[in-house]
């Protein structure tokens, strides 16, 4: 367990440090328009007579686009990428070559596609990691003690009730806390695997698991509330009978 937690935290840190290197970040699957200003030696904007050739590469080095001309828009040159061309998460790079009259040059382009299009700080990564660890601790703690707590009413050798055991309600509370912490734990794992680790198959698994737990939460909460009320009413009646000296089986 300690190794898993260590690997999780290290993976978070690596991704956060990579995101803080000043790269432009864009959301996955959303169209993007590159607007790149180009200048001559006198720091004036280049005009529409400028020839441009844009080449971009996927993170694995394969070509995304090759030698594409950009559109001149007065103070900058533009090129549109479709949503399908923005579907690969990771750091993309490329080069824009341009020429105007006797001058020419190139611009190195580097950008990152992330699930949300946002960068996360180290403080945020630590917060999510601590939230996940806290949820895991609460889940283990509550689950363990929910099974350890004895909720049955105390009985004598003749199997008659001699004392109402109100610990059964502590047991119910611990079970509810265990379920809630499990929900929070799965939600945190879903968010971390998607927004930080960029692990799409893993995030899809946690997303599906979270939705299943959410759907099950409604009937479980309803049944649990009914059981709580029924037990409370029953125990009050038993307590009243015991106080009057009556036998309760």
pLDDT tens column, 133-148: 889 999 999 999 999 9
Q: Are strands 103-114 and 154-155 parallel, antiparallel or unpaired?
A: unpaired
Query: For 214-233, how does the pLDDT look when each residue is reduced to its tens digit (9 = 90+)?
Result: 999 999 999 999 999 999 99
Does residue 127 sit in the same domain as residue 226?
yes
Cα distance between residue 35 and residue 38, in whole Å? 10
- Give the residue from 95, 114, 133 where a domain finishes: 114
Does residue 225 sit in the same domain as residue 129?
yes
Residues 77, 71 contacting (CB under 8 angstroms): yes
- Give the residue from 83, 114, 145 where a domain finishes: 114
Token pair, residue 192, equals: 């971390």
Does residue 109 sit in the same domain as residue 127?
no
Q: What phi and psi, each to the nearest 5 degrees, are found at residue 205?
A: -65, -50
Q: List, in sequence order, the alpha helices (H) in the chain.
A: 2-19, 122-148, 167-195, 200-243
Does residue 234 sit in the same domain as residue 139?
yes
Q: Which domain holds residue 106?
A: 23-114
Does residue 218 sit in the same domain as residue 138?
yes
- 108 within domain boundaries: yes
Does residue 140 sit in the same domain as residue 200?
yes
- 98 within domain boundaries: yes
Asked if pLDDT for residue 4 goes beyond 80, the answer is: no
Higher pLDDT, 121 or 152: 152
Does residue 203 sit in the same domain as residue 179?
yes
- Distance separating the N- and C-terminal Cα atoms of the chain: 46
Cα distance between residue 191 and residue 196, in whole Å? 8
Q: Which pLDDT score is estimated for 165?
A: 87
Mean pLDDT computed over 23-42: 87
- 2 within domain boundaries: no
| DSSP states of 35-80 | EE--B-TTSPBP-TT-EEEEEEE-TTS-EEEEEEPPEEETTEEEEE
- 9 within domain boundaries: no
Q: How many structural domains are present in the chain? A: 2
The widest CA-to-CA distance across the chain, in whole angstroms, is: 109
Instruction: Tell me the pLDDT band of 174, cut-offs 50, 70 and 90.
Output: very high
Q: Are strands 24-27 and 103-114 parallel, antiparallel or unpaired?
A: parallel
Lowest-confidence pick of 12-16, 92-96, 242-246: 12-16
Higher pLDDT, 131 or 66: 66
Does residue 186 sit in the same domain as residue 104?
no
Asked if pLDDT for residue 73 goes beyond 80, the answer is: yes
- Give the residue from 97, 114, 131 where a domain finishes: 114
């Amino acid at each position: 367990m300690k190794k898993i937690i260590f690997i999780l935290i290290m993976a978070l840190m690596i991704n956060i440090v990579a995101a803080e290197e000043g790269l432009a970040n864009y959301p996955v699957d959303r169209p993007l328009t590159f607007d790149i200003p180009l200048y001559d030696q006198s720091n004036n904007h280049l005009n529409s007579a400028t020839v441009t050739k844009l080449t971009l590469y996927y993170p694995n080095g394969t070509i995304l686009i090759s030698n594409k001309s950009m559109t001149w828009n007065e103070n900058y040159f533009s090129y549109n990428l479709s949503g399908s061309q923005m579907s690969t998460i990771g750091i993309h790079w490329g080069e824009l070559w341009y020429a105007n009259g006797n001058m020419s040059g190139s611009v190195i382009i580097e950008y990152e596609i992330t699930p949300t299009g946002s960068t996360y700080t180290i403080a945020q990564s630590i917060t999510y990691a601590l939230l996940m660890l806290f949820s895991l601790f609460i889940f283990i703690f509550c689950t363990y003690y929910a099974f350890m707590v004895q909720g049955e009413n105390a009985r004598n050798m003749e199997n008659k009730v001699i004392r109402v055991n109100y610990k059964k309600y502590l047991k119910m509370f611990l079970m509810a806390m265990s379920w809630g912490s499990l929900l929070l734990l799965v939600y945190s794992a879903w968010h971390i695997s998607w927004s930080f680790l960029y692990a799409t198959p893993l995030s899809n698994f946690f997303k599906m698991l979270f939705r299943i737990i959410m759907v099950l939460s409604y009937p479980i909460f309803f049944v649990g509330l009914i059981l709580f009320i029924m037990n409370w009413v029953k125990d009050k009646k038993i307590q009243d009978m015991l106080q009057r000296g009556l036998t309760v089986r």
